[in-house]
Structure formats: C-alpha cells, structure tokens
C-alpha cells in the first residue's frame, strides 16, 4: 500500500507486502508485531510502569485526497484518522505521544487529524522535532501539552492553493474562511493571541518571495504557540504525569 501526503505523516507504506516474515528461531511464528507496526504506520506501542504508550509519527507531507509522488514521504489521513479513533477506544492504551517533523500539506486533512487529537480524552503530548510547518502547527498544538526541541522550526503563512483559481469575490471569501478555521483552532488550543498569530502569518520581509514568519523552539514558547521547550524525556515525563493524574481521578 502507499501512504498519502500533505505533510505526509505516517511513513509511506511499501508497495511490496510488508507482512512479517516467519523465522526458524520463532518456530514459524511471525516477528514482533511492534516492528511491523513501525514499518506500516510509523507507530509503536510500549508498555511502561505508568501504562501502555502509543507513539505516532507525523512526518513528511500530510497527504489529502490527492496522492503525492512516490518519492515523497507522507502521512496519510485515511490511516491516521481511524488509528486515532481506535486509540481513544482502546482501554489498554494509556496515552499517546506524537512525534512531529512535517512540511505541512493538505489543509483539510491536517486540520481533520488535529481535531481528532484535540478531541481525545486520553493523555496526549506532541513533540516538534526538526519542524512542524504550515498545517503542521495545528497538529502540534492539538495535544494537551506541546513540546518543541530548541532547534525546531515552525513556518506560519497564509493559506495557499494550487491549481485553477477563479478571479471572483467568492474565491477570496473561500480563502478567508478557510484561513479563519486554522486561526481559530490554533488560538483555541494554544496560548497565542489571535492578533499575534495573524501578525506572524501576514508578516512581510522575513521570508524570501513569500509572506509569513518562521519561529524557532524558544521563540514559539515565548509567543505562547508551544507550551514548553524539551526533548523526548521531558515529553514522556509530562505524558506519565497526565496518565497518573487521570488514574487518580478515576
């Protein structure tokens, strides 16, 4: 199968069968399913003293309704969406760790995934590694706690569209309403003000031949876009804390 794009998150599924091979040492049984899960969906589950953690990667281009080229790493929304729904319903899963390194992609696919993450009742933590650009920003802020490594980058820019554009007032209204959906989601799920986010989105003079801004780890925290600076151990510690507090409430 092939994974899709727009900030294709999960890893591209191989065109060849990825069914685990049977080994002599295992007596003909399949290899560890966790390894297969990483190959097919870019995700893995780990049992800890706090509970079972599901780690999901959102990488490359987030693919929407149109397939990306075979040479592009993507995250397909038709894989991630049902996976998130199953994680929410699975009593064995205690929390979800999201690892982000995406260039962005399809707006509605990315926003749809972000809405699912934000709507989960289970503990969730996101960690921006490398970058979480464009529609990757809603994905980063959708978790209950968001982290970014110091070297992480996030590009904020207005909505773009490829293909035929009709020169009519309705086209501008469509772009404006689509952009408004993104702004509202980011403001609702982070601590950045609407005015500041729009200012960054429409800033000129910072990006060559484009409008927008690029913010980095510590700056994103100071702006209120990301909650904290930290690495993997920091993100896991926060996730464990959420899990423990949730258990006490129950």
* Selection from 60, 83, 84 nearest residue 3 by Cα: 60
Catalytic one among 94, 132, 157, 213? 157
**pTM, two decimal places:** 0.82
Please check whether residue 190 is in contact with residue 145, taking contact to mean a CB–CB distance below 8 angstroms.
Answer: no
Low-confidence residues in the chain, pLDDT < 70? 1-42
Q: What is the pLDDT of residue 227?
A: 98
Q: What is the pLDDT of residue 63?
A: 93
Q: What is the pLDDT of residue 40?
A: 64
Dihedral angle of Cα 188, 230, 136, 177, to the nearest 10 degrees: 20
User: Bridge-partner residues for 147, per DSSP?
Assistant: 127, 228
* Selection from 147, 135, 229 nearest residue 186 by Cα: 135
User: Bridge-partner residues for 95, per DSSP?
Assistant: 53
Greatest alpha-carbon pair distance for the chain in Å reads: 67
Q: What is the pLDDT of residue 37?
A: 65
Q: What is the pLDDT of residue 24?
A: 46
Catalytic one among 132, 134, 190, 213? 134
Q: What is the 3-state composition of the chain as percent helix, strand, coil, each rounded to the nearest 5? A: 35, 25, 40
Q: What is the pLDDT of residue 142?
A: 98
Long-range contacts of 25-31 (CB under 8 A, 24+ apart): none
Q: What is the pLDDT of residue 250?
A: 77
Angle, CA of 92, 42 and 51, to the nearest 5°: 25
Q: What is the pLDDT of residue 38?
A: 59
Q: What is the pLDDT of residue 192?
A: 98
34: annotated active-site residue:
no
Q: What is the pLDDT of residue 151?
A: 97
Structure token digits, residue 163: 């293909």
69: annotated active-site residue:
no
Q: Which CATH superfamily hosts domain 33-249? A: 2-enoyl-CoA Hydratase; Chain A, domain 1 (3.90.226.10)
């Amino acid at each position: 199968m092939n994974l899709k794009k727009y900030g294709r998150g999960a890893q591209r599924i191989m065109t060849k069968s990825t069914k685990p091979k049977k080994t002599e040492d295992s007596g003909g049984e399949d290899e560890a399913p966790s390894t297969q899960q990483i190959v097919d969906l870019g995700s893995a589950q780990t049992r800890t003293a706090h509970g079972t953690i599901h780690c999901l990667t959102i990488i490359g281009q987030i693919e929407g309704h149109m397939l990306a080229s075979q040479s592009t790493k993507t995250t397909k929304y038709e894989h991630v969406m049902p996976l998130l729904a199953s994680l929410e319903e699975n009593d064995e899963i205690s929390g979800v760790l999201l690892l982000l390194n995406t260039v962005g992609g399809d707006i509605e696919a990315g926003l749809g995934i972000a809405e699912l993450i934000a709507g989960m009742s289970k503990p969730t933590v996101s960690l921006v590694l490398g970058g979480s650009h464009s529609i990757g920003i809603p994905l980063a802020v959708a978790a209950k706690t968001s982290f970014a490594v110091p070297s992480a980058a996030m590009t904020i820019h207005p909505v773009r569209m490829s293909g035929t554009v009709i020169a009519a007032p309705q086209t501008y209204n469509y772009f404006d309403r689509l952009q408004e959906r993104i702004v509202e989601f980011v403001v609702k799920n982070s601590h950045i003000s609407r005015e500041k986010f729009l200012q960054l989105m429409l800033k000129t003079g910072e990006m060559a031949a484009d409008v927008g801004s690029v913010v980095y780890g510590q700056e994103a925290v100071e702006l209120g876009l990301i909650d904290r600076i930290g690495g993997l151990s920091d993100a896991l510690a926060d996730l464990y804390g959420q899990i423990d507090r949730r258990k006490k409430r129950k």
